[in-house]
């Protein structure tokens, strides 16, 4: 197990390094000169030179890359060109909206998908299963931002159960903040839950075809006991990897959803950064998001090994 | 004549309706989408405007037809990129299983998977500016590891079979074996995955257009129609409902087609393998 | 004392009759054998008794066990019988156990489910049962996982969990078919001793007449869903009243007639061949070890000879086969065919490849399902220096098909339209088409039913005379090798431990391992008195 964790850790580090190289190359190398890019076509040569000096663009590519990475490791993400404040401050304020939102959505998604997938698999072919398959088939086709708009229309504008957007801030109270994240989380979660439920169902059905289920039945277990005691744990294994991948889609989705609900999260930061050509902000936030996805994949891999004894070496 | 599953029939009808609408839109739409007609804005669905009009007085039905072009075109080219680059990569990796080349390709795959299409689109757009082309590249890039992984997985399970050994005894090399024996036998897998990626592409394009990173005005796109409708949803919900339904039905159609194709293509494989 | 009485068991699955009027009875302490080929319905009989038939099955008749008709009780009642009064083990031990549960828990579960004991008590009993089946604590603690065990060991665990509640009857459906000969005899002996000590009855289902004749007290011979003959084993095999029993018996002992002349010219020469595999690293700092799959092997196959190579799984015969076919790099020694050296890897020598072809074991994985038969058979033409014309190819395909007993129009069909035996014929046609000197038969008849096997062996004998072919027969099945080879080589752990004329080696084995193998192989006597 330790050896497995060690190899995965190496994998993780390599991925992070590779990702950082890619991001750095795209942002700092491709546009040619980042400074003139940021300032636009009409900029004066001396303004450009000043910005270059300020951004440290006069060093070699290698040294710039390393100072960027080193900076990030010490929490220094540079100064935002538009806002003139450290990017780390901007990120910190907003990550506490985007991250809880993603986790909230993941929780809702899994809490719904697991039982639904299980019920569908256990009642294969029966009306319950057909109903679930039909609903989830619809669910995966719904764009989450559209669903968000509909939720706002029904629950906020018409029923007035929730506010139509905005975020009060964690200082205003835990419950209030969670309430304002609820509609967004549901909007994010429902399409993902549909995908997850279908995968859960097919994973359980695949497992039920295995020989060891037949052995369990021959021992005297009934269908329900066979599913519960044997099929479930085995079926979970491929589902775990999917959840890991889902997290990356959830982060991406969260960024888009923030737009519908006017949540001041990382999404807003990044889109403003793009419109204002603030490459520093864009670079940092993208790196952060990719970092989050890679970490989550790593955690999922570890859980994978914890669940499946075949992956642990003696 | 094989009996076609209902999912395939129903799904095809849904999808091809939109495809045909998109094609027809090149020749004719009920109204010209480029003409703004402020006097007849926010009209509800009627005999003249089947889906009503938007905040500029444009006919929503026509905009849906033209928007279909964007969604379908972007999604299909993105799938094309995924297949043309991803499948050879996956087959190549599988034929070198155990070799460092295979590991390298898989690592590369995992790396791309860490970048959701949206992030890739953000990166590209930040540098090159938003456009339909960038949306295609962003979605396409993400499709490559998907097809690479699927082809590699399918190929690996075939490489262990005896008929591959026979081919090697007959003197054939990896490239020829991949082309002659492996590819035809994973074709079914790829077709089904293709429809799935196509439907995901439609969703991705809509999301990108919604946040302004995709196709730019004045070209209509379903995603942007939704973005525009957002502030007016309380008094003109039809602006949001129709584009939404268009996306849902197209994606649903493709997914049903994928399910149906899986049903007709798979049992044949299962029958030949005992 | 009669334990189980089955009368007029009839099973249909979706309107297809699968079992017809099956009647038999099993007594306490008895071993009842059910023998037949694939499709005979023997497994279906077992599944019917256990109530584990697939959906869509309709069952009529009676199977009385402990004063209850198993065929008429509810599923819940049947659950209380399964594992408790009647147990079952299956053919594939590798997939029979839950990979994420320890062996201790899986055996203990039988006891817990039937409310016999709470967890800690059940684990204690599980330990006893595992000891009883030969898996002792020192090597097989309760927290071991199935993937850490071999096939034979997993089958023992399967037996332990099936007998944990001391059922009155144990059904064993082809329990040793997937195992090596030596493991097979161990498992069969284990079952025999369990029957004796636990006073359990055993219903042993198998396709192997030799196994049944050595073990079963009574036997039933099944064919297409019916019992064609039944009674005391000795009596049935002595009298053989039914035609099918006679057919089965003669096919099992079948020795094809060979008219091939043996010449003293060496055809295939293996000299000091060594093949090592690199193993994956144990830890980040250890150097990768190597595994010697083939260690310094030498032998010669002469023109016109049928040479047998026997060994159990893991002995290295597959590696050696691939090396002979030029698919593996050697770390030492050389292989020559008709005097030319066989080199593997990039430098494949088509001229040599043309002279040898291969037939594999699995008739289902041997062919690309998307190509037509004609294309499949003509694949070896890729090796020809001067590619034949389309007409020539067509002619060769037709000739090949006729030579193996198939029809001309089969060339346009797909492989899924043919049965297992027919597919092996097609495989032989493919091997034959470029007129090689040597055909390597890698377990080529192992997966076939006994009667089909006899036909294919006859075909091979006929073809070897007609086309002057020599064969290298690789098999784990000693009884087949005994009947069709001139000389035999016995392989173990990468080495040849014994070689010689087949009759001599079988009658008078010299090496310990050969003796072990022969002792473990069940024999079907030619005549029973």
Q: What one-character DSSP code corresponds to residue C314?
A: T
Q: pLDDT digit string (tens) for B84-119?
A: 999 999 999 999 987 888 888 988 888 888 888 888
Contact B115 A37 (CB under 8 A): no
What 3-state class would DSSP assign to C493? coil
Contact C280, C483 (CB under 8 A): no
- CB contacts of A81 in chain B (<8 Å) are none
Contact A157 B237 (CB under 8 A): no
What tens-digit pLDDT sequence spans chain C (529 residues)?
A: 889 999 999 999 988 899 999 999 999 999 999 999 988 999 999 999 999 998 889 999 999 998 899 999 999 999 999 999 999 999 999 999 999 999 999 999 999 999 888 899 999 999 999 999 999 998 999 999 999 999 999 999 999 999 999 999 999 999 998 888 899 999 999 999 999 998 899 999 999 999 998 899 999 999 999 999 999 998 998 888 999 999 998 888 888 887 777 888 888 888 888 888 887 766 666 777 888 888 989 999 998 889 999 998 888 888 899 888 888 888 888 888 888 888 765 566 778 888 889 999 887 888 999 899 999 999 988 888 778 888 888 999 999 999 999 988 889 999 888 988 899 999 999 999 988 999 999 999 888 888 899 999 999 999 988 888 999 999 888 888 888 899 999 999 999 999 999 999 999 999 999 999 999 988 887 665 4
Mean pLDDT of the region B122-146: 88
pLDDT, position B231: 86
Best of A141, A280, A287 to disrupt the B interface (most B CBs within 10 Å) is A141
Residues 6+ apart with CB under 8 A from A233: A307, C100, C101
DSSP string for residues in C317-362: HHHHHHHHTT-S--SEEEEEETTEE---TTS--HHHHTTEEEE-S-
Contact C106, C157 (CB under 8 A): yes
Best of C354, C370, C373, C446 to disrupt the B interface (most B CBs within 10 Å) is C370
Contact C110 A233 (CB under 8 A): no
Distances, alpha carbon B223 to alpha carbons B11, B216, B229, B251, C210, in Å:
22, 11, 10, 14, 73
Distances, alpha carbon C486 to alpha carbons C109, C256, C504, in Å:
52, 12, 10
Contact C327 B271 (CB under 8 A): no
Q: Residue C226 forms beta bridges with which residues?
A: C223
What 3-state class would DSSP assign to C100? coil
pLDDT, position B271: 42
Determine the distance in angstroms separating the CA of C470 from the nearest CA of chain B, rounded to an integer: 18
What pTM did the predictor assign?
Answer: 0.88
Tokens of residue C356, six digits:
């040898």
Phi, then psi, of C60 in degrees rounded to 5: -130, 160
Report the 10 Å Cβ neighbour count for B271. 11
pLDDT, position C529: 45
Q: Of C98, C70, C77, C212, nearest to C161 (Cα)?
A: C98
- CA-based nearest residue in chain B for residue A20: B111
Distances, alpha carbon C271 to alpha carbons A111, C264, C274, C296, C304, in Å:
65, 18, 9, 8, 20
- Residue identified by tokens 């129903």 is B10
Residues C162, C146: Cα–Cα separation, whole Å? 16
DSSP string for residues in C181-196: HHHHHHHHHHHHHHHH
**A 191-250 residues inside an 8 A Cβ radius of C:** 210-212, 214-222, 225, 229-230, 233-234, 237
Residues C201, C31: Cα–Cα separation, whole Å? 6
- Where does the pLDDT of residue A297 fall: very low under 50, low under 70, confident under 90, or very high at 90 and above? confident
Q: What one-character DSSP code corresponds to residue C448?
A: S
- CB contacts of B213 in chain A (<8 Å) are 274
User: What number of residues does chain A have?
Assistant: 314
Tokens of residue A283, six digits:
């670079």
- Residue identified by tokens 């199977």 is C63
Mean pLDDT of the region A264-293: 87
Contact C357 B169 (CB under 8 A): yes
What 3-state class would DSSP assign to C451? helix
Determine the distance in angstroms separating the CA of A274 from the nearest CA of chain B, rounded to an integer: 5
Q: What is the phi-psi region of residue C42: left when phi exceeds 0, alpha when psi lies from -120 to 50, beta otherwise?
A: alpha
Contact C96 A211 (CB under 8 A): yes
B107 touches chain C (CB under 8 A): no
- Where does the pLDDT of residue B267 fall: very low under 50, low under 70, confident under 90, or very high at 90 and above? low
The complex's ipTM works out to 0.88
Q: What one-character DSSP code corresponds to residue B234?
A: T
Contact A218 C82 (CB under 8 A): yes
B112 touches chain A (CB under 8 A): no
DSSP string for residues in A223-274: HHHHIIIIIHHHHHHHHHHHHHHHHHHHHHHHHHHHHHHT--SHHHHHHHHH
- CB contacts of C360 in chain B (<8 Å) are 162, 165-166
Q: What one-character DSSP code corresponds to residue C93?
A: G
What 3-state class would DSSP assign to C220? strand
Residues C243, C247: Cα–Cα separation, whole Å? 6
Contact C156, C146 (CB under 8 A): no
What 3-state class would DSSP assign to A83? coil
Residues B49, B40: Cα–Cα separation, whole Å? 10
- CB contacts of B138 in chain A (<8 Å) are none
- CB contacts of C379 in chain B (<8 Å) are 166-167, 170
- CA-based nearest residue in chain A for residue C164: A219
Q: What is the largest CA-CA distance in chain B?
A: 77
Angle between the A232-261 and B117-128 helix axes, to the nearest 10 degrees? 30
Contact B3, B50 (CB under 8 A): no
pLDDT, position B269: 43
- CB contacts of B224 in chain A (<8 Å) are none
Q: pLDDT digit string (tens) for A60-77?
A: 788 888 888 888 888 888
Residues C482, C501: Cα–Cα separation, whole Å? 10
- CA-based nearest residue in chain B for residue A248: B116
Residues C528, C330: Cα–Cα separation, whole Å? 49
Q: pLDDT digit string (tens) for B163-214?
A: 998 898 888 888 999 999 999 999 989 999 999 999 999 999 999 999 888 8
Contact A245 B247 (CB under 8 A): no
B216 touches chain C (CB under 8 A): no
What is the enclosing helix (H) or strand (E) of C158? helix C151-163
- CB contacts of C382 in chain B (<8 Å) are 170-172
Reduced to 3 DSSP states, what percent helix, strand and coil does chain B have, rounded to the nearest 5?
75, 0, 25
Residues C467, C478: Cα–Cα separation, whole Å? 26
Half-sphere exposure of C411 (CA within 13 A, CB side): 18
User: What number of residues does chain C have?
Assistant: 529
Residues B189, B155: Cα–Cα separation, whole Å? 10
Mean pLDDT of the region B262-270: 66
- Where does the pLDDT of residue A1 fall: very low under 50, low under 70, confident under 90, or very high at 90 and above? low
Burial of residue A83, with CB atoms counted within 10 A of its CB: 0-12 exposed, 13-18 middle, 19 or more buried:
middle
Residue A299: pLDDT over 80? yes
- Residue identified by tokens 């998907």 is B146
Q: What one-character DSSP code corresponds to residue B4?
A: P
What 3-state class would DSSP assign to C302? strand
Half-sphere exposure of A45 (CA within 13 A, CB side): 0
Residues B209, A221: Cα–Cα separation, whole Å? 53
Residues A262, A258: Cα–Cα separation, whole Å? 6
Q: Of C428, C427, C501, C421, nearest to C460 (Cα)?
A: C428
Task: Using the CB atoms, write b or e for C158-172: b if 16+ within 10 Å.
Answer: bbbbbbbbebbbbbb
Report the 10 Å Cβ neighbour count for C241. 11
Question: Strands, DSSP E only, in C109-197?
Answer: 169-173
Contact C511, C346 (CB under 8 A): no
Residue B3: pLDDT over 80? no
Residues 6+ apart with CB under 8 A from C49: C4, C6, C63, C70, C86, C171, C203
């Amino acid at each position: 197990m330790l050896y497995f964790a060690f190899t995965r850790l190496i994998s993780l580090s390599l991925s992070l390094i590779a990702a950082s190289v890619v991001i750095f190359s795209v942002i700092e190398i491709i546009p040619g000169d980042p400074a003139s890019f940021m300032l636009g076509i009409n900029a004066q040569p001396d303004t450009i030179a000043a910005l270059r000096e300020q951004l440290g663009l006069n060093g070699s590519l290698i040294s710039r890359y390393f100072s960027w990475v080193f900076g990030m490791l010490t929490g220094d993400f540079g100064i935002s060109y538009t806002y003139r404040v450290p990017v780390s401050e901007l990120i910190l304020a907003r990550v506490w909206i985007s991250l809880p939102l993603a986790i909230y959505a993941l929780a809702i998604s899994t809490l719904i998908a697991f039982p639904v997938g299980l019920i569908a698999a256990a009642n294969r072919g029966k009306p319950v299963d057909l109903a679930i398959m039909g609903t989830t088939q619809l669910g995966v086709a719904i764009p989450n931002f559209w669903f968000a708009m509909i939720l706002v229309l029904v629950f906020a504008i018409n029923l007035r159960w929730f506010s139509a957007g905005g975020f009060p801030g964690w200082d205003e109270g835990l419950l209030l903040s969670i309430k304002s994240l609820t509609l967004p989380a549901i909007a994010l979660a429902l399409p993902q839950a549909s995908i997850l439920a279908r995968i859960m169902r097919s994973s359980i059905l695949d497992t039920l075809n295995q020989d060891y289920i037949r052995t369990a039945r021959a021992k005297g277990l009934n269908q329900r006991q066979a599913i519960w005691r044997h099929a479930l744990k085995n079926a979970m294994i491929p589902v775990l990897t999917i959840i890991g991948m889902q997290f990356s889609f959830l982060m991406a989705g969260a960024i888009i959803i923030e737009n519908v609900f006017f949540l001041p999260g990382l999404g807003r930061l990044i889109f403003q950064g793009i419109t204002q050509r603030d490459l520093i902000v864009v670079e940092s936030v993208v790196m952060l998001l990719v970092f989050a996805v890679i970490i989550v994949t790593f955690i999922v891999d570890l859980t994978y090994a914890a669940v499946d004894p075949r992956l642990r070496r003696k | 004549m094989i009996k076609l599953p209902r999912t395939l029939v129903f799904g095809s009808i849904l999808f091809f309706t939109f495809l045909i609408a998109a094609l027809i839109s090149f020749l004719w739409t009920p109204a010209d989408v480029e003409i703004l007609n402020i006097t007849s804005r926010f009209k509800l669905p009627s005999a003249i405007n089947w889906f009503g009009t938007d905040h500029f007085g444009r006919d929503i039905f026509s905009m849906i037809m033209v928007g279909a072009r964007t969604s379908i075109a972007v999604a299909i080219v993105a799938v094309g990129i995924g297949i043309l680059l991803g499948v050879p990569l996956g087959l190549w990796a599988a034929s070198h299983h155990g070799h460092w080349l295979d590991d390298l390709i898989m690592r590369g795959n995992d790396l791309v998977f860490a970048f959701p299409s949206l992030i890739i689109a953000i990166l590209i757009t930040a540098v090159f500016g938003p456009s339909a082309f960038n949306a295609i590249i962003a979605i396409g890039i993400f499709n490559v590891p998907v097809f690479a992984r699927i082809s590699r997985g399918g190929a690996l399970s075939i490489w262990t079979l005896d008929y591959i050994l026979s081919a090697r005894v007959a003197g054939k090399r990896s490239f020829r074996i991949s082309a002659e024996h492996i590819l035809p036998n994973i074709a079914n897998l790829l077709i089904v995955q293709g429809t799935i990626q196509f439907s995901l592409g439609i969703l991705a394009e809509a999301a990108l257009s919604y946040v302004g990173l995709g196709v730019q005005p004045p070209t209509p796109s379903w995603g942007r129609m939704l973005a525009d409708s957002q502030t007016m949803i309380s008094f003109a919900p039809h602006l949001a409902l129709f584009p939404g339904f268009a996306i849902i039905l197209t994606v649903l159609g493709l997914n049903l087609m994928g399910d149906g194709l899986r049903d007709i293509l798979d049992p044949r494989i299962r029958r030949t393998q005992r | 004392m009669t334990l189980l009485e089955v009368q007029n068991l009839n099973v249909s699955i979706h309107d297809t009759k699968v079992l017809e009027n099956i009647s038999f009875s099993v007594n306490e302490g008895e071993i009842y054998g059910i023998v037949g080929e694939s499709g005979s319905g023997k497994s279906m009989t077992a599944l019917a008794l256990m109530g584990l038939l697939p959906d869509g099955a309709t069952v009529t008749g009676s199977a009385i066990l402990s004063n209850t008709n198993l065929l008429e009780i509810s599923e819940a009642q049947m659950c209380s019988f399964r594992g408790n009064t009647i147990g079952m083990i299956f053919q594939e031990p590798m997939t029979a156990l839950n990979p994420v549960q320890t062996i201790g828990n899986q055996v203990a579960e039988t006891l817990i489910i039937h409310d016999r004991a709470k967890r800690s008590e059940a684990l204690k009993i599980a330990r006893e049962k595992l000891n009883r089946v030969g898996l002792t604590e020192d090597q097989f603690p309760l927290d071991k996982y199935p993937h850490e065990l071999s096939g034979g060991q997993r089958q023992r665990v399967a037996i332990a969990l099936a007998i944990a509640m001391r059922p009155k009857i144990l059904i064993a459906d082809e329990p040793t078919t997937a195992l090596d000969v030596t493991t097979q005899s161990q498992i069969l002996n284990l079952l025999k001793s369990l029957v004796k000590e636990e006073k359990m009855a055993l219903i042993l289902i198998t396709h192997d007449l030799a196994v049944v004749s050595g073990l079963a007290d009574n036997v039933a011979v099944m064919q297409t869903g019916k019992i064609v003959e039944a009674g005391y084993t000795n009596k049935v095999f002595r009298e053989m009243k039914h035609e099918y029993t006679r057919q089965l018996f003669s096919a099992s002992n079948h020795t094809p007639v060979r008219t091939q002349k043996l010449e003293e010219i060496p055809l295939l020469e293996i000299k000091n061949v060594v093949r090592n595999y690199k193993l994956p690293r144990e830890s980040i700092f250890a150097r990768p070890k190597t595994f010697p799959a083939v260690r310094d092997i030498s032998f010669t196959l002469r023109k016109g000879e049928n040479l047998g190579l026997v060994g159990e799984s893991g002995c290295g015969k597959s590696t050696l086969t691939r090396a002979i076919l030029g698919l593996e790099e050697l770390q030492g020694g050389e292989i020559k065919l008709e005097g030319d050296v066989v080199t593997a890897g990039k430098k494949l020598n088509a001229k040599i490849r043309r002279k040898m072809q291969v037939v594999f074991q699995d008739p289902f994985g041997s062919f690309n399902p998307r190509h037509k038969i004609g294309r499949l058979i003509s694949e070896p033409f890729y090796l020809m220096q001067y590619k034949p014309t389309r007409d020539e190819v067509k002619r060769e395909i037709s000739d090949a098909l006729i030579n193996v007993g198939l029809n001309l129009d089969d060339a346009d069909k797909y492989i899924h339209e043919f049965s297992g035996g027919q597919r092996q014929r097609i495989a032989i046609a493919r091997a034959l088409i470029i007129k090689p000197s040597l055909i390597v038969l890698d377990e080529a008849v192992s997966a076939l039913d006994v009667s089909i096997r006899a036909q294919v062996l006859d075909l091979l004998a006929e073809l070897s005379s007609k086309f002057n072919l020599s064969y290298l027969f690789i098999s784990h099945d000693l009884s087949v090798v005994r009947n069709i080879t001139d000389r035999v080589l016995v392989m173990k752990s990468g080495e040849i431990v014994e070689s010689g004329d087949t009759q001599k080696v079988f009658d008078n084995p010299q090496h310990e391992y050969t003796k072990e193998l022969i002792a473990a192989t069940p024999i079907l006597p030619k005549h029973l008195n």
